[in-house]
């Protein structure tokens, strides 16, 4: 990728490994790895804020906080950068897995049961469903 810089008489092209457009970090191989790591780190930071500021969370209060403060970062522009590698999908799912452990009432349950109790689908399911809806609208 190249960016244009103007001097007084010449136009120079500089090589860039990645750039940010509309909040999405795009690299030269279109892996979106830097973008995913950035969004995952932001989501963990939001989880930390929730953990520090709320002593006891009910399922409904957690769901509201999680959907607005954490999942919104993981879903932003996901139709562009949606992960397809198993390792990348697991990194994203790990955020949601850790998030549901913040609820004391269901902390000891298995992950699938915690998700059912919170009425949350997996992030992979949400991305796949979103892609199918988008394809339906196009057709």
pLDDT in tens, 44-78: 999 999 999 998 889 999 999 999 999 999 988 87
pLDDT tens figures, 8-50: 667 777 777 888 878 888 888 878 888 889 999 999 999 999 9
Question: What pLDDT is recorded for position 58?
Answer: 92
**Where along the chain do its domains lie?**
30-138
* C-beta of residue 52 within 8 angstroms of C-beta of residue 111: no
Dig out the tokens for 119 from the structure: 């009425």
Reported confidence tier of residue 100, pLDDT bands at 50, 70, 90: very high
Q: How far is CA 50 from CA 32, 38, 53, in A?
A: 27, 19, 5
Question: What pLDDT is recorded for position 83?
Answer: 83
3-state secondary structure of 22: coil
* C-beta of residue 47 within 8 angstroms of C-beta of residue 70: yes
Give the global pTM. 0.81
Dig out the tokens for 9 from the structure: 């008489």
């Amino acid at each position: 990728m190249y960016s244009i810089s103007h001097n007084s008489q010449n136009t120079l092209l500089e090589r860039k490994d990645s750039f940010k457009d509309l909040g999405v970090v795009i690299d030269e191989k279109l892996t979106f790895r830097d973008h995913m790591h950035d969004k995952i780190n932001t989501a963990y930071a939001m989880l930390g804020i929730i953990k520090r500021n709320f002593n006891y969370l009910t399922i409904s209060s957690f769901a509201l906080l999680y959907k607005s403060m954490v999942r919104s970062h993981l879903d932003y522009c996901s139709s562009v950068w949606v992960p397809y590698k198993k390792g990348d999908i697991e990194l994203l799912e790990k955020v949601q897995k850790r998030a549901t452990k913040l609820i004391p009432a269901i902390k000891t349950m298995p992950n699938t049961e915690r998700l059912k109790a919170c009425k949350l689908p997996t992030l992979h399911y949400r991305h796949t469903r979103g892609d199918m809806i988008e394809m339906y609208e196009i057709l």
